[in-house]
Amino acid sequence: MRLSNEDHMQISDLAKMLNITTRTIRLYEKLGLVEPPKRTEGKVRYYEKDDVKRFKFVLRVKTLGLSLEEMKELADLYNREQKVPDKIMPRLIELLDTHLNSIKEKVSTLQRLEKDISEYRTRIVDQYRLSK
């Protein structure tokens, strides 16, 4: 018998819905990024709407480039602050700003490298009268 319906879903259905593996779900639970799932009397894991929201949040911040360590920090803060998102968002903004600044620095470095390579290529083509 499947547990999945609009209020509950089993791990395989959650994985399919989120396009991740059941192994990833278990890892996130083990790392404390999400709370351990509820279980039936038969020990079958099941997830509710709030669990799905939490997984979506974790996956979203992961796609934004936050490390597992940063994600764990947010999860711990979330648990410590009685699950009040308003307490988490300032720290999330801080982490995102740091990450954004790092990306801007990398982009700037790559743009300088692109310019240097392009200029060097042009000098070689001109010096050796090669076709462009």
**Does the pLDDT of residue 1 top 60, yes or no?**
no
Question: Which residue would you say has higher pLDDT here, 84 or 106?
Answer: 106
For the stretch 98-111, pLDDT in tens is: 999 999 999 999 99
Residue type, 64: L
pLDDT band at residue 22, thresholds of 50, 70 and 90?
very high
Of residues 112, 129, 30, 130, the one with CA closest to residue 75: 30
- 126 burial (CB, 10 Å; 0-12 / 13-18 / 19+) is exposed
pLDDT at 131: 80
pLDDT tens per residue, range 30-45? 999 999 999 989 999 9
The lowest-confidence range among 20-29, 37-46, 75-84 is 75-84
What is the rounded end-to-end Cα distance, in angstroms, of the chain?
Answer: 68
Q: Are 7 and 44 in contact (CB under 8 A)?
A: no
Mean pLDDT, residues 73-94 taken together: 84
This prediction has a pTM of 0.77
Q: Does position 3 have pLDDT exceeding 70, yes or no?
A: no
Residue with the bigger pLDDT between 16 and 82: it is 16
Percent of the chain with pLDDT over 70: 96
| Average pLDDT value for residue range 16-41 | 95
- From the candidate CATH numbers 1.10.1660.10, 3.40.50.720, 3.20.20.450, 1.10.10.10, the one assigned to the domain spanning 11-127: 1.10.1660.10
